[in-house]
Each structure stands twice: as C-alpha cells, then as structure tokens.
Amino acid sequence: MTTRREFLATAAGLAGGIRLAAVAAPAQATPAAMQEAVRKVIGTAQVRKGRVKLDVPPLIDNGNAIALSVAVESPMTPANYVKALHVFAERNPLPNILSAYFGPRSGRARVATRVRLADTGTVIAIAQMSDGSFWSDSAHVVVTLSACLEEALI
Amino acid sequence: MARAVVSVPATAKRGEVIEIKTLVQHVMETGFRRTQLGELIPRDIIRTFVCTYNGEEIFRADFHPAISANPLMTFSTVATASGTFEFKWAGDKGFSVTESAKITVA
C-alpha cells in the first residue's frame, strides 16, 4: 500500500524527470552545444576572463527583445584593437547570437542590439583582439517568457 | 521594400568618436517556430550588415536567428572626413536594403 507521502515523492520525481527530458530535447542547445559553437568560431584558442563588459538585464519578462550591449576595453589604435566580438547563449536552439567585426577606425569597441533568448541560462561574449588573444564576459539571465520556440499564430 | 532608419550626427569634430544607430524592418523568422498545424516556418533572417564610410568598411556584423525582429544595431566610428555612410543589409529570400547618411566633419 502506497502512503500519500510516498506517492507525492514519486510524482515529484516523475515530474522532475519530464522536465529534464524537455530541457534535453534537441531543439534547445545545451552548454556542450554552446562550447561546440564557440570552438567553431574561435578555434582552440584560450579564452581569458576580463576586458569585456556584457550588459544584459538579469531578469527578463519577454525573451523576444532583450537590450544587450557589449563593450570591450581597448585603445582601438592600428597596433592594438578589437577584431571581432561574438555573443552566444547556452539555451538557444542555435547558440550563436551575433558576430560583430571592428577595425581601428571603430574608435570604440561597443555594440548594442536587441536579442532573443529561449530560456534561462548563461550568455557569453567573447572578444578577439588584434594580438590574437581572446577575452570574455558572461552573465546569467532569467527568462520568464521564452522566444524562438513559441507557436506562431498563423 | 523594407524600411531602414539610420541615425548619424550631422556634424562632428575631426577625430571625435561618433555613435551610429540603425534600425531596419524585418520579421527575422527564426526557423524554429511551427504553425498551429505543426509545420515548420522556414527561416527568413537578415544574414549580414555592413557599414562603409567614404567607401571603406568600418563595421560589419553577422546576424543569427537570435537577433530580434526589426534589428537594431548601435556601434561607433571615428569621424575622419566629411562624406557619406553607406549601410547595407542582406539576407534570405534575396533581402537587400541600402541606406545612406551624410556627415560634415569640421
């Protein structure tokens, strides 16, 4: 005979299992998929933390339009400038969000746009400097209404 | 024809870092959404954005489906000489929009 307590514990476990399965569905990228996407863009280079400032709200109501800006500390001279900036989200079906390319004439390595996020997770920005080094910053973002995967009303 | 709006300062001092804002009309359909009948809606996004200043490329960006509808792009450049900025967006289904803006550098 199953007691009420045991029944509830089992039900909770099952529900947890279902949630895990939903997260692992191929439509949503996992952190491993993000790592792969990052490697595809930057190769095997080592990425260090710092010099990049990723600005994204920590809590988001609507994942369809999130103000995101990234700034990189750099003098932006012909000898030392930011070549490229890549932004990824670990929970998006396609982790890549944006790649921006700068030059010494950019003056300031800063870019601002609006992005979509599918689920709560980490967003990472990686900057490639002209000397070949890579720097990054990441932010954890809580999303209550997901983008990308919702059913279209058509 | 999709509309594009760009914001470039009309005048600037030589050597000054100016901020440019661009907005273009586009649905940016992700290719991950389904209709209520379960059919996948094909991807239809802007792929690339290029900005040139007197013919020289100063900024370029690759967009992915995670860029919101009606993409907004804010970036900077150094005002070097009076002239024209050309903005070009290109994407799926032959999407192509160009816009230009003039600047006077003192």
Complete domains list, chain A, with CATH: 28-145 (2.60.40.2470)
Which phi and psi (to 5°) does residue A132 adopt? Answer: 95, -5
Contact A154, B39 (CB under 8 A): no
CA A78-B18-A65 angle, 5° bins = 105
Per-residue model confidence (pLDDT) at position A154: 52
Distance between CA atoms of A81 and B58, rounded to whole angstroms?
13
- Cα torsion A67, A38, A51, A138: sign: positive
pTM for this one?
0.82
Contact B88, B101 (CB under 8 A): no
Distance between CA atoms of B29 and A34, rounded to whole angstroms?
21
Q: How far is A86 from chain B (nearest CA, A)?
A: 9
* Residue-number span of the structural domain to which B35 is assigned: 4-105
Hey, is the C-beta of A148 within 8 angstroms of any chain B C-beta? Answer: yes
pLDDT digits (tens, 9 = 90+) for A29-84: 678 888 888 888 888 888 999 899 999 999 998 888 999 999 999 989 999 999 99
- Which value does ipTM take for this structure? 0.90
Per-residue model confidence (pLDDT) at position A19: 47
Per-residue model confidence (pLDDT) at position B35: 86
Candidate from A99, A105, A115 with C-beta closest to B77: A105
CA atoms within 13 A on the CB side of A10: 6
pLDDT at A11 over 80: no
Enclosing H/E stretch for A59: strand A59-62
Candidate from B17, B58, B63 with C-beta closest to A103: B58
Q: Which residue type, as a one-letter code, is found at position A104?
A: P
Per-residue model confidence (pLDDT) at position B50: 96
A113 with B74: Cβ contact below 8 A: yes
Hey, is the C-beta of A64 within 8 angstroms of any chain B C-beta? Answer: yes
Which CATH number covers residue B66? 2.60.40.10
How big is the A-B interface in CB pairs under 8 Å?
A: 113
Distance between CA atoms of A66 and A68, rounded to whole angstroms?
6
A46 SS3 class: coil
Q: How many domains does chain B have?
A: 1
Distance between CA atoms of A81 and A72, rounded to whole angstroms?
10
Q: Which residues of chain B are under the pLDDT cut of 70?
A: 1
Distance between CA atoms of A87 and B85, rounded to whole angstroms?
26
